[in-house]
Chains A and B, each alone.
Chain A
Amino acid sequence: MSSLGLNTGLKALLAAQARLETIGHNVSNATTPGYSRQTLEVANSGSIFLHGVLTGTGVEAQVVRRTVDLLVQARLATQTSTVSRLETRVSTLSQAENLFAAGSAGGLGQLFKKFFASLTSLSATPEDKSLAANAVSGASDIASKFNLLSSGAGDLAADAVQRVKNEVGVVNQLAERISRLNAQILATEPGGAPANDLRDQREQALQELAQFTDVRAVEDERGAVRVLVGGQSLVSTVGFQRLEVVTNSPTDVSVRLKGSNVDAAIAGGSIGGLLGVLAEFLPGLRDNADQLAHEFILEMNRVHSTGMPAGGPQSSLVGSNALQDLDGDGQVTDELLAQAGLPFEVKDGELFVNVTHLASGTVSKHGIPIDAARTTVGDLVNALSAVPNLGASIDGQGRLQLQADSGFGFDFSTRLDTTPDAVGSFGGGPATLGTPAAGPFALAIGDTLDFSGPLGPFSVAFQPQQFQSIGQATAAEMAAVLNADGNFQANGLTASDVGGALVVQTSTGGPAQSFTLTGGTAVAALGWTAGSFAQGQNLQVSPVISGAYTGGANGVWTFRPSGDGTIGTTAGLQVDVFDERGARVARLDVGAGYQPGTELVVADGVKVAFGLGNLSATNHDQFRLDVLADSDTSDLLPALGLGGLFVGSDAATIGVRADILESPELLATSKSGAAGDAGNLLRMLQLGEDAVAGLGGQSFTAHYAEVSGGVSLELASAQDAAESESFLQQSLAAQRDQVSGVNVDEELARMIEAQQAYSAAGEYIRVINDLTAELMNIL
């Protein structure tokens, strides 16, 4: 019996020690991440028959079990993945918000305001160099900020890519650890005891994995877990695979299992968050910055290139955008303008260039039609080179460069041609006969015009090869044929195209100069009458244009007298002004009572003054005036980067033109070149408020505010989601701790209580022992 009692006591002691060890283990691991509280299961160790009596044999420690709620653990992993994804998103969006902060001092919104404010200041005194420098500095600040936005967005993407690479490395380590723990658990548990600590470590590894990616873990009946990441098997029950990062571009990556050709659809965890911002958010951010910069460059350069510096026309310009030999034939000149690799679209339209004789101030305006689908680089260079006193070429870098002849300058402004009747077809000195209407003229093959000049009669015949279409003969074509004719030249005649009308004149002026149109088969087609006589005069009306055109659209105005007579003398003499559609724009009284040289208001800010001279409605005196709201309707100048304020085409490349940075007085403040003219500054200022088609009808500041606000809104949304999801995660973690966590205070209190009880019991036992020994002495 004593042996049985001793054995029973031993078992009890073993059970007690196991319990204490379990408590100590719990306390030791109270702060070990992922540790689950363990409890000792104790059971009666059975009974035996001894001396015919069923006798108990004490207690035994059966098994130490983890206290876990598997459902809570699984939900916690999922929630951890969600929270980690959102927190990663919040982190990136916060950086983006700082970058794009609209209202901050260094924010683009404030820089826009500062720039436009500097233009306002400059507009009061456009010749002020310090104010011009201030405005150029503002433009430079905007360009720098755009550069920063671009590089910042790029840095955010590069950082995200690097983080994905780093975290994929951690995921691979965790996969290896989970696989190793799988093997250890499989090796341990067949002995009967659950591998609690190994399972805790594996669970902890899974929870860590959930921080990086979405995780689905399935445990098989033997105790090994299979881990699916992004729908693909990362850890199997017998091994694991590694994830790898596939770099599609420096800022675009995907993740897949090594050796697989299918991307893992990782949506959760920090990797999921990073892949999400890389795929969805950051490209949009960069695109928005690029689009805003692109439109800002285009609109500002449209205005700037068609203005003039306060100092007047320029002698040379080089485009900032290179033309490209896209067909690879070794030459650029055969490329169509619309397909020459320019960063801005070239449209059908017309480009007007003004060439100024610097000494006299005489300006000649030349229009060059642009057909984006037909006009080649070579055509453009030739057309520009055909402008008197202007040369054009392509430099070694593929850029268009313009050079005015010595003593001349050029510009692309909308200023009016102040002396539009260059040929003197409107009351000029030469004998003049013009067609009553502009062409084209329906000539027939072999049609003739017969003249009688100082050397006698002669005839000029027209052949089909001299025209693109002889039935649609233009004034320019006919003038070319006439001017090439020997008799025409010998008789001192010259022909020209005046606003589409054909004008035939004597080479010199004066009453002695005359000629007669005697006939010919082409007379009717030109609206002429056989026998028309033209005689020169000593006087010249020489109309002078002033003012600035304020109309909204480009136009061509033709000035014609209502009858024959003398300016300021003939009663009722009037000059009619027609637009390109034939509609009368104005009727000006220039007869008796008009003081020659007096400015008369035509329309839309345009004024004209006529000198003393004779006008002839019979001989169809006329001159043409181009009135321009936009001197580059083709957008060729911003496409070529010619005469703009900014260079580049997007947020990364935008900058202020180097020569303007160096000499701020080159800022195109004026529309006319006249002193004090700030017309072009006012156009630039208006851009701050204008709706920009390329920005969906928003102004620059409004669009930027929307982009910046969008980032803030996105951030706020992500923060809200992260906060609520984090709350849920904390709740789940609390549930897990409630089930599995170790309360050190409770465990220690239990131990101290036991110690006191054991000590008290021991003390009494000692007393009893002493008393018993004393008693035994007298028995």
Chain B
Amino acid sequence: MKPAANPAPNPALGPAPSPASTLVRELENYAVEELELQRRLLTALREQEAALFHGDMAAIREGVQRFDAALRGAPQRAARRGELLRRMAQQFRVSPKSLTLTSICARLGPDGVGLARQATELREATQAVSAATRRLGALARLHVRLNGELLAAVLGGEGAGAMPAGALPAQGRGAAANQAAFRSDHPPLHGLLLDAQA
């Protein structure tokens, strides 16, 4: 494939920036914005984790709202990122799918030092978000599962013939018996957590 012709430089404006350097600046701007977003997400994730730890429903709801705000515009950012990578790939006459920020910096050489620094920070932040997301995801799934089992146990008995033993209050059965029966229906939490990690 033949590279596309660049527009002629304008002498009145001084030496015209090369298309590559313009793209690099746009990528640097994108990286800065993405980094900010990842940091906000990380903060929101940690707060949400704390809210889950403490069972603070109000904090959980606030955290969800913060997620919502943080993720607002994510499709536009993804589209913008794709466009930048497409143009950069055109510049380098390679497939867009073969480019990463790291490979772009390598191709840019000295011109990519700044972008490389930002890419490193973004990678670290993204890895932190990813780790927090995994942990929080496991936590949320466990909560959902536990709570769901409890709800199924409690509500499932209304009008239904079958119900988990001990899940519903039974006339004549003591509290201790109910408690024992309830515990027998629920596997130990340690096992659940290990399952989630696996």
Question: A: which residues have CB within 8 A of B?
Answer: 2, 5-6, 8-10, 12-17, 19-21, 23-25, 27-32, 35, 42, 58-59, 196-198, 200-201, 748, 750-755, 757-762, 764-769, 771-779
Contact = CB atoms under 8 A, between A and B. Distances in A.
Nearest to B173: A32
B177 to A, nearest CB: 9
Interface string B33-68: 010001001000100110011110100110110011
Given A28-B182, A773-B130, A778-B100, A15 B53 contact: yes
Nearest to B96: A778
B179 A197 contact: yes
B60 A761 contact: yes
B150 A751 contact: yes
Given A755-B148, A772-B126, A778 B68 contact: no
Nearest to A28: B178
B189 A757 contact: no
Interface string B135-155: 111011111101110110111
Interface of B: 34, 38, 41, 45, 48-49, 52-55, 57, 60-61, 63-64, 67-68, 71, 74, 78, 81, 85, 99-102, 119, 122-123, 126-127, 129-131, 133-137, 139-144, 146-148, 150-151, 153-155, 166-169, 171, 173-176, 178-179, 182-183, 186, 189-190, 192-193, 197
Q: Which 5 A-B pairs have the closest CB atoms?
A: A12-B53, A762-B140, A764-B67, A197-B176, A197-B175
A761 B140 contact: yes
Contacts of B146: 16-17, 20
A525 to B, nearest CB: 102
Given A765-B136, A779-B119, A25 B52 contact: no
Contact of B175 (A19, A35, A42, A768): A35
A29 B136 contact: no
A120 B55 CA distance: 90
B105 to A, nearest CB: 11
Interface centre among A31, A42, A201, A754 (most CB of B within 10 A): A754
Nearest to B140: A762
Contacts of A767: 67, 71
A10 to B, nearest CB: 6
B24 to A, nearest CB: 15
A13 B147 contact: no
A23 B78 contact: no
Given A28-B182, A59-B54, A764 B71 contact: yes
Contacts of A775: 34, 38, 122, 126
Contacts of A754: 55, 57, 143, 147
Given A10-B193, A768-B41, A769-B134, 13 more contacts: A13-B142, A21-B186, A25-B178, A28-B175, A30-B169, A200-B175, A751-B147, A757-B57, A757-B60, A757-B64, A769-B137, A777-B100, A779-B123
B53 A58 contact: yes
A778 B186 contact: no
Interface centre among A5, A752, A757 (most CB of B within 10 A): A757
Contacts of A766: 137
A432 to B, nearest CB: 103
7 contacts: A197-B176, A751-B147, A751-B150, A760-B61, A761-B140, A768-B71, A775-B38
Given A23-B150, A32-B175, A753 B57 contact: yes
Contacts of B178: 25, 28-29, 32
Contacts of B140: 758-759, 761-762, 765
B189 A776 contact: no
Contacts of A13: 139, 142, 189, 192-193
B23 to A, nearest CB: 14
A747 to B, nearest CB: 9
B129 to A, nearest CB: 5
Nearest to B70: A768
Contacts of B52: 12, 16, 758, 761
B99 A761 contact: no
A30 B169 CA distance: 7
A25 B150 contact: no
Contacts of B102: 779
B133 A768 contact: yes
A770 B25 CA distance: 27
A751 B189 contact: no
A10 B189 CA distance: 9
B65 to A, nearest CB: 10
Contacts of A759: 140, 144
A17 B53 CA distance: 10
Nearest to B192: A13
Given A28-B166, A765-B140, A10 B190 contact: yes
A33 to B, nearest CB: 8
B106 to A, nearest CB: 13
A56 to B, nearest CB: 10
B189 to A, nearest CB: 5
Nearest to B103: A778
Interface centre among A10, A30, A201, A775 (most CB of B within 10 A): A775
A768 B150 contact: no
B151 to A, nearest CB: 6
A776 B127 contact: yes
Contact of B143 (A748, A758, A779): A758
A59 B55 CA distance: 11
B117 to A, nearest CB: 13
B152 to A, nearest CB: 10
A571 to B, nearest CB: 111
A197 B74 CA distance: 52
Contacts of A768: 41, 45, 67, 71, 129, 133
Interface centre among B102, B129, B147 (most CB of A within 10 A): B147
Contact of A31 (B123, B126, B171): B171
A27 B169 contact: yes
Contacts of A760: 60-61, 64
